[in-house]
Copies of this chain bind each other. A is one copy, B any other.
Amino acid sequence: MIENPYYTPEAQGHYELANIGDLRLEEGGTIRGCRLGYATFGTLNADKSNAILVPTWYSGTHRIMADVYIGKQHALNPERYFIVVVNQLGNGISSSPHNTPFPGGMASFPRVRIGDDVQAQHRLLTERLGVDRLELVVGGSMGAQQTYEWAVRYPDMVRRAAPIAGTAKNSVHDFLFTETLIEAITSDPGYKGGWYSAASDVREGLFRHAKIWALMGWSPAFFSRQRFRALGFSSLDDFLTNFMKAYFGVMDPNDLLCMAWKWQRGDVSRLTGGDLEQALGRIRAKTFVMPIESDMFFPPSDCEHEQKLIPNSELRLIHTVDGHLGLFATDPEYMGQVDRHLRELLATPV
């Protein structure tokens, strides 16, 4: 275990921790006494018909979802819905390499797949929170991967789905992107095969990782329009240092690597022997597939290809030049679009 102030309630805001018991993983490992960190907003109504699940993205926690996506001014309105944000395994809040005791933590933390997250979340919802029907599952990026996995795995439980800026089956190009992120970290001699003494030993690797994120996370137009100035940064260097490195540089390297490995292998067709069409054909949720038009690694064309395989679905393109990291709602026009689509989706009878 490694102390890291970034993953505390002081930094991330209040959350609950549920021990859901041992979690046996698809790849063969087991997380003993698996803990899921989650935050709820609003109240489950009497007939349990207002629950919404929000899984988290790579490096994200419940906090960004609470701060940006949830509120009475948003589609995800806690005055109307019971909203559960569950931190994905490996994100530093739920069971993760850095917070799992010796010998199961750090480099020994087992391989986790998107399907393991969904199994763990299913256990939490049905056994702890009394939720057996979801009005909506909505998530961005790796949250979209989990959304797809939910809709394919539990078609009778998920009534609506909104995968934002993510795919049901990860692409080769996206796999390659994630590989460069992984290598940026593992190539740091301070990484020591995952057995560093402090995250700061891997600072150079974390900084390189942040820079590759800057390259791929936004878009050429984001930079040519100097959108980083609109975000309050005076130069590229200021933006790289005080946004990108500030954000990623305080995280735990093994935690990021755990999520990266999982992200690379998101694939609902594992449930149908590799047949993506069959897997997506299982979805019964009314689904809005919501790619971001300037996304460099989940391009709209990849998302549209999948959307066409989902029976009751529509493509809803989000317009912004902020690329994948538009998910942070850096563009003032972003949340209005997301809310409009989600409100329409939630108002659609199913």
Contacts and interface: CB of A to CB of B under 8 A. Distances in A.
Given A187-B187, A215-B180, A296-B296, A173 B208 contact: no
A271 interface: no
A180 B180 CA distance: 10
Interface stretch (A98-106, A114-122, A128-136, A297-305): A297-305
B171 A302 contact: no
Contacts of A220: 171, 173-174, 296-297, 299, 301-302
> Which of A172, A179, A240, A302 has the most CB atoms of chain B within a 10 A radius of its CB?
A172
Interface string A283-323: 00000000000001101011001000000000000000000
Contacts of A305: 224
A141 to B, nearest CB: 15
Contact of A177 (B187, B215, B240): B215
Interface string A206-229: 001001101110111111101000
Interface residues of A, number: 38
A296 B219 CA distance: 9
B296 A172 contact: no
Contact of A176 (B179, B188, B208, B236): B236
A16 B196 CA distance: 52
A3 interface: no
A261 interface: no
Contacts of A184: 208
B299 A173 contact: no
Contact of A208 (B174, B187, B215): B187
Contacts of A212: 180, 212
A102 to B, nearest CB: 28
A221 B183 contact: no
20 contacts: A171-B220, A172-B226, A173-B215, A173-B218, A173-B219, A173-B222, A175-B236, A176-B214, A176-B223, A180-B180, A180-B212, A183-B211, A187-B188, A187-B205, A215-B216, A220-B302, A221-B301, A224-B301, A224-B302, A296-B296
Interface of A: 171-177, 179-180, 183-184, 187-189, 204-205, 208, 211-212, 214-216, 218-224, 226, 236, 240, 296-297, 299, 301-302, 305
6 A-B pairs with the lowest CB-CB distances in the bound complex, closest first: A173-B223, A172-B223, A173-B220, A220-B299, A176-B215, A172-B236
